[in-house]
Amino acid sequence: MIVDPGFPWATLCVNYLGALFLTAILIYSKHHPNPRWWWRPGLGTGFCGGFTTYSAFAVQVDHDFNTHSYHSMVAYVLASLIGTFILVFATHEYLDKRWAQKVGKK
């Protein structure tokens, strides 16, 4: 089993980026006048699913739990959940307003 020796910053950052990409894909396809049918499953599930490392998240949490590193586990879970929620919310608000204005001007 491969587990980060310290706090898993790399995994956390990759998952944050994946959440940002997925939000951007969904908002773009929402505001695009003629979205392709494959954008959401191809780019969302395919690209973002392959890019993110939520399996590594699960392995790290399991490792911390089994080694009784509860503080590290709770910090990682909270950073993942709360951080992702904040990033998705902020990205959605920013891009939704920005792309809605561009579509409204045409």
pLDDT in tens, 53-74: 888 889 999 999 999 999 999 9
Task: Report yes or no on 98 lying in a domain.
Answer: yes
**Residue 63 structural domain:** 9-105
pLDDT at residue 19 greater than cutoff 60? yes
**Chain position carrying tokens 């891009």:** 95
Over range 73-95, report the average pLDDT.
Answer: 95
- How many domains does one find in the chain? 1
pTM for this predicted structure: 0.82
Task: Report yes or no on 19 lying in a domain.
Answer: yes
Of the candidates 38, 86, 80, the residue with the CA atom closest to the CA atom of residue 61: 80
Task: Report yes or no on 2 lying in a domain.
Answer: no
Task: Report yes or no on 4 lying in a domain.
Answer: no
Task: Report yes or no on 63 lying in a domain.
Answer: yes
Task: Report yes or no on 1 lying in a domain.
Answer: no
